[in-house]
Each structure stands twice: as C-alpha cells, then as structure tokens.
Chains A and B, each alone.
Chain A
Amino acid sequence: MTDHFPRTLFRTLALTLVIGAAAPFPAARAQSVSEGQRLAFDRGKGNCLTCHEIKGGDLPGTIGPVLRDIKSKYPDRNDLVAILTDETRRNPQTVMPPFGRNRILTEQEINAIVDFLQTL
C-alpha cells in the first residue's frame, strides 16, 4: 500500500520517457508549428496578416514584406525571436509592433510562431 503511489508515478514517468524517445521532436514540434500558425493568424494575438502575406492566410496587408523562405533568410532562430520581441531595436522607425516588449505575446507564444515561420 505504501509503495503503490510512487510505483504508479514511476511507471508514468517511464512511459513518458519511452514515448519521448520513440518520437523525439516531430510530435512536439508539429504541435508547436500549428499553434504558432494559429497565434500568427489570430486577430487578437499576432494578427500578422494585417501587414504580411503568409501562405495559408486570407486578406493579407502589404505594409510588411511577404513572409517566405524565412529559414534561408534567418537560419538562426534567435534572430526571429528578436524581430518578434522588439523590432524597434533593429529599426527604430519600424511600424511592426514590439510583441514581446509590450506583452502582446508571451515568450512561449513567440517561440511557437518562430517554429511556424521556419516552415515558410
């Protein structure tokens, strides 16, 4: 009776590790990518389509550049995190909102969007 609870916990943990090992990144990454796309298109969140044409999105604006071939342009994901967090640091005149600095998006949300951007 006394060791019942810890054993269950251990089994759950072991199971998680097995799943983790069998399907390492792809599952988690795929989920993050689709979450990132949702956040990017959501009008109350990224609302990136207001300014950018992005594959899969309707009624894009033309204020910012078309977002394509992002991975070849920005191989280092940290650059993308920086652009989303506060583009005014790179370009003080930019019209792109400082999503991280002004807490429009959390760090986790920004990371999901960056995963999505890297598929474009």
Chain B
Amino acid sequence: MALAAVALAALTLAAPAADTPDPVADAKAFRNFFVTKFPKVKLEDFVNGPYSMNEGMRRQWEEKEQFPPYEFSLDTGKEMFSRPFKNGKSYADCFPNQGIGVRQNYPYFDTNEGKVITLELALNKCREANGESALSYVRDDMAALTAYMAFTSRGKPFDIKIPDDPRALEAYQNGKRYFYTRRGQLNFSCATCHVQNPGERIRAEILAPALGILNAMPIYRSEWGGMGTISRRFTSCNSQIRGVPLEPQAEEYRDLEYYLSYVSNGLPISGPGSRP
C-alpha cells in the first residue's frame, strides 16, 4: 500500500517486492544512499546528526563538548544504575555483562515473548520484576539511565540481529513501513525529513540524516532545556507534523526503533549526545 511512498528509488531498488523482505540488502542500500549523497562525510560521522551536515554548527558543538551539557545526567544515571533496589538486587542483575557495554545490542527481538525489546523497555521490565514502579519513558530518570548505559558502549558498533523467526522479520518490516508511510495533515513520513532532506534547514534547524540517527541517543537539547530519550524524540517528531503521537514504547515505535537501529549496524554508539 503506502510503501509506494518509499521515498527514493535508490532505497527501493534493493527491496523490489514488499513480500520478500531482505534486511541485509536494505541495510546496504540504506548506507549507500547516504554515503553517495554525502561523499565528504565519514561513515562514522553520520552518528553526529546535524553536525555531520554543517561545518559552522560543528565548530560550535566541538567547543561545547569541552563541558558537555549531558554530564549531569550521566552522573545521575551512573548513581541510579549502581543503587540497589529495595529487594537488594540491581539493574546489573537484569542485563548481560551487568549492563556494561551492551547498548549496541538493543533493541533485540525476544523469541520467547515474540516482540521487540528496546533498552528503555528492558529497564522498566527490570524495575517491575524487582518490585519497583516503572519510570516515565520521556522523562529525566529514563534519559539518565540510558545515557549512562550508552556511555559505557561508546565506540561499539550497533550490532542488531534479526533471529530466524518470521515474527522478527515481520517486526522489522512493520518498522520499515512505519518509517516510510506518510501521515497526518501535512502528509509527512519520517523519511520525508530524514531521508529526503538531511542537511537542509527546516526553519532554523538542520535535519539529521536517518543513517546513525539513534546512535547518539539519548540527547541533551538546548531547545528542550534538558535530556530526551528515544521515546521523547519519536513522540515530538510526530507532534511537530501535527500528527497524533503514539504511546511511548507502542509496538510500532519499538518496531521502528528496531528497523532504524538495524540499518545503522556497524556505526558506533556515540551517546549521550548534545544538540542545539
């Protein structure tokens, strides 16, 4: 259906028929599209979003990184992560390798539950399994925890797997469809902005390329005056286009994150990031 809205021929070439998904070919075409469109940008630099697209902005950012605005959140996250729950257990007990240096493996497809598990969801599942209440997906505490976990994975390439399970492939396809489907009164898809127009100005903001777009999450945004999780970014992009955002961590958003992370495989985690 709306896969006709798949923005650019370059991206559709590798996936000729919607009924035979080929994630490996997709990811290759996706990467090629951006590398060809921006021959001067180094592959690992795409994770720096708008800064990879604009020299002037990049200089301002590099100066700011001397005293990164996410430092406070990082400290909070580290402290939260090490503090035991009331039952004496801690986050470390819920994750492989005690949760250190694992960010690049999220989201993953859980073949027992038959669904995509993002890092944000895994953190709340961990809390609930240990008798703690869930955190808001769009607020500071979740941003702080994911900032700390991303920090321990800095430089590690995204390594998202699609297990041999038709449900995993379906989740990937759903995420891809969501990404390219135009919606809302303004008739925009995610790809309208982040595939068709990266590097362009939308009002005063420079649009980030979709390749590597999640590697720097969570981010500090001056415009927000604080930190934002992936959930916060997805819902605010949906609201910006006068669309109705989904619930944070709704199935479509998790599938979308699965797709976007998979096609950025091989690019390094750089989070937490800071943005204007």
> Which residues of A lie under 8 Å from residue B197 when comparing CB positions?
63, 95
| A interface residues, how many (CB within 8 angstroms) | 16
Q: Give the nearest-CB partner of A64 in chain B.
A: B200
B187 is an interface residue with CB less than 8 A from chain A: yes
B202 is an interface residue with CB less than 8 A from chain A: yes
> Which residues of B lie under 8 Å from residue A97 when comparing CB positions?
185-188
> Which residues of B lie under 8 Å from residue A60 when comparing CB positions?
201, 203
Q: Give the nearest-CB partner of A96 in chain B.
A: B187
A72 is an interface residue with CB less than 8 A from chain B: no
Give the interface SS of chain A, mostly helix, strand, loop or mixed: loop
Flag if A63 contacts B200 (CB, 8 Å): yes
Q: A93-B7, A95-B196 are in contact. Are A88 and B204 (CB under 8 A)?
A: no
Flag if A59 contacts B187 (CB, 8 Å): no
> Which of A50, A62, A102 touches B187 (beta carbons < 8 Å)?
A102
Flag if B185 contacts A61 (CB, 8 Å): no
Flag if A102 contacts B186 (CB, 8 Å): yes
| Cα–Cα, bound, A103→B185 (Å) | 8
Q: A59-B203, A62-B200 are in contact. Are A95 and B188 (CB under 8 A)?
A: yes
A82 is an interface residue with CB less than 8 A from chain B: no
Flag if A61 contacts B187 (CB, 8 Å): no
Flag if A50 contacts B7 (CB, 8 Å): no
Flag if A61 contacts B186 (CB, 8 Å): no
A49 is an interface residue with CB less than 8 A from chain B: yes
A104 is an interface residue with CB less than 8 A from chain B: yes
Flag if A104 contacts B200 (CB, 8 Å): no
| Cα–Cα, bound, A50→B204 (Å) | 8
Residue from B7, B187, B204 whose CB has the most chain A CB atoms within 10 Å: B187
| Cα–Cα, bound, A97→B196 (Å) | 14
Flag if B185 contacts A50 (CB, 8 Å): no
Which A69-111 residues sit within 8 Å CB-CB of chain B?
A: 88, 93, 95, 97-98, 102-104
Q: Give the nearest-CB partner of B242 in chain A.
A: A104
> Which residues of A lie under 8 Å from residue B8 when comparing CB positions?
93
Flag if B185 contacts A102 (CB, 8 Å): yes
Flag if B201 contacts A61 (CB, 8 Å): yes
Which A3-57 residues sit within 8 Å CB-CB of chain B?
A: 49-51
15 more A-B residue pairs beyond the given contacts A50-B203, A61-B202, with a C-beta to C-beta distance below 8 A: A59-B204, A60-B203, A61-B201, A61-B203, A62-B201, A63-B197, A63-B202, A93-B7, A95-B193, A95-B197, A97-B186, A102-B185, A102-B186, A103-B185, A104-B185
